[in-house]
Each structure stands twice: as C-alpha cells, then as structure tokens.
Chains A and B, each alone.
Chain A
Amino acid sequence: MLILVKFAKDKPAVLGAAIVLAVVAMAILAPLIAPYPGDVAASHLLQRLKPPSPEHPFGTDNLGRDILSRVILGARGALMIALLVVGISMAIGVPLGLIAGYQQGWLSQTIMRVTDIFLAVPQLILALALAQLMGPSLESAMLALTLTYWPFFTRIVYAETRRLAAALFIDALQCIGAGASRILFLHILPNAISPIIVRATIGMGFTILVAAVLGFLGMGATPPDPDWGLAIAESRQYLPEAWWFSTFPGLAIFLTVLGFNLLGDGLRDIVDPRLRRSR
C-alpha cells in the first residue's frame, strides 16, 4: 500500500516504529523474556549492587534484583499508564473539541473556557495534591495526568473543526440534508485525525516521562513495583559507584519517549487523504 511505502522511506519514523514495537513486545511478553521474572518481588541480598555481568547484563540493584528483568517488567506499567491516560484524555477531549468547534454559541465558549481552566493547572502540582488526598499510587498519578492532558486534545480538535466546518464539502453536506452529528463524526473527525494521532503518540511518550518523574518523587508507583522512575529514585543513594542502577532504567525511558516522538512525526506525514488509493 502506498501509505506503507511512503512510511518506509522516512528513516526516523521507521526507527521510532521499531522502538515502539519493541517496547510493546517487551510489555506483552515480559514474564516470558525476563531472565528472572520472580525479581518483581524477591530479593537476593547476597547479590546486591553487582556490576553488569553475563548472568546480569544490566547488573543488580540494592536488593540484588536483576535490573534487566525489572526494566523489562517495568515496560508493562509504563505502557499501561500511557495507554490509559492518553486513551481517556482522547475520549474526553476529542468530543468536546468537536462540539465546541462546530457550534458557535455559548456552549462552545463555555467548553473552551473550562478547557482553559484545566490547561492552567500544572501537572505535577495536581499530582502532588491528589497523592496527598488519595495516598500515593499509580491511580492517583493517572488521574492527575488525565485531568491535565485532555485539554490539549480539545484545543487541537477545536481548531481543526473550525477550519473544516468552513470547508465547501461540509456546506455541500448541509445542502443535501446531513445532520450535525453525521457531519461531525463521519466527515469532520476523519479529516481531523492527523493532529489527533500526532498528539496521541507524543502524549504516550510524554506521559511515560511524567509518570517516571512522579515515580521518582514517590507520588506514583510504590515499591516493589519495577517502575522505571522509581528505580531511578532508589538508585540515587548508590551513585556514582553503582552507575548501572540508574543508567539502564533511564535509558529505557529515554528510548521509549524518543520512539514515540519519532513515530508521531512519521505518522503526521502519512495521514493524508491523498494517500488513500483505490489501487
């Protein structure tokens, strides 16, 4: 298909896709490919803080757990947060953006002002507040991230909807009697997909990063979760000698976020109706 051919020519995008696929595979197959799957909870104090070696390619942490296994197992939590946060943000933000962009009256204004209010809330502060209220956990982190991410979707969908609502083909649809919901969901939404997809993929990377920060601050995942951010937090006391403790989880975060960003850029370029072909 023309879309795949075009995508294959974009080297950074292919790299991004490869990284993302690897991370997803890692997450799905985690218990099968981690060399020491039991190291989610177990501790082997005799093995603590061993440098990288053939039995432990990424070394061991302060409780003697294999870091490679914990990095692989941590992918699950990272991806799950990212998928849930981005997914729910889209489910809230996209319809609101469509409605606000299509109507022009008080409803539209109200939605956009509420969006502005939520945009003004700093993510980390809200996460801290919720962690206080609900007790620090992955759930409170996800709630904070979702509440502060949906407005981004609303904003871009609003802009795209306003632009498309003025398009001639929308006028033609109104002339033949199509109703507002048909126009919004079958005609405006598909043509607005491009920025939504880009935002979603970048959002995945961004969420993983912020979740790692929250884990680092102790406001998200709690021990003994193999969370990447949490691992970096735990590693602080043992630097700089046990450099492998923070380096590998950090690399995992870096590569995953990079992968999603490159993929997002590549997707933006290929989501173009002109690439839809009959042959």
Chain B
Amino acid sequence: MSETTRTAGSLAPGKTKWFALGALGVAGVAFLAIAMGGIGSNLVYYWGPTELQAAGDKAVGATIRLGGLVVENSIVRGAGSSGVEFDVIDRKGTKVHVKSAGVPPQMFREKIGVVVEGTMTKAGHFESHRLMVSHSNEYRVPGEEHPTDVEKTMRTTEGLEGKATR
C-alpha cells in the first residue's frame, strides 16, 4: 500500500501528499465501516432447534439455517400449492414447526436430515424459503441407514444448493 500512497502523494509535493494520504485513510476507514456493517446485517446463523428456542425473540427476523431431523408423520403437503409443512427435531428432543415455500427436493422424506433457511416468525413457526436435504455421497449398502450429517449440510455449499424461492 505504501507504494500507492507514495505515488498518489507525488501528484504534488508537501501538503498535498498528506492531504492525499489522509483522504485515502478516511476512504479506507469508511469502506471498512460499510463492509463490516454489510457483514453484520447479513449474517446467517447455523442453529439447531434448541439453540433457536434459546435465542427467543432474537431469532425473529434474523436469517437462520436450521438443521435437524424431519419428525415422523409430521409432513403435510399443501393442497394444490407447492409448499410443505413439517416438524424438525434435534437430539435433545426440541421440536420446531417449519413452513416451507416451494417444491421440496427429491430426497425429502420423514426421518431425514434437513437444513432449512429462513427466519422465525412471531407466531412461533419457522418460515423457510430454502429446503435442503443432507446428502451423503459415500456408498452404503442399500437399506443400511447412516447418520445424516446435518451439521455439515448447514455449512453446505454448491453441491447441495437448494432453490431459494423468493
């Protein structure tokens, strides 16, 4: 950076140099402030149902990736529409009701690990616009159940990209 400032400063000698340095400094600080503000308001939290409940009102309006298992017999498909409702549970037994917009992916079913992205509503259910199923591409003998790695799916990237339906 010293090189840039030196050259910028060499536009004219003396005071101008310090002025240019100062301007660059102010611009840098301003940019950092904008960037950090941008990060602060766009954080996506990776939570399980227990952490979600513990967060209380903080969870309302925040962007959250909620991970857990789909509870047996809890899936209700919207009649005519493409939405779906279900409960998500974690190891501690905490349940959260999820309303998800859009068509669920092929692997979506009971007792499978899912990650939903969205936010908590005041009404007490989780409103999701993206539904992802945690995959494991390692080969298993058919019929052998394997623990779905929900935590890894939360950190998910392109391989599991669910569709954002906004």
- Mutual binders A and B: no
Interface of A toward B, CB cutoff 8 Å = none
Interface of B toward A, CB cutoff 8 Å = none
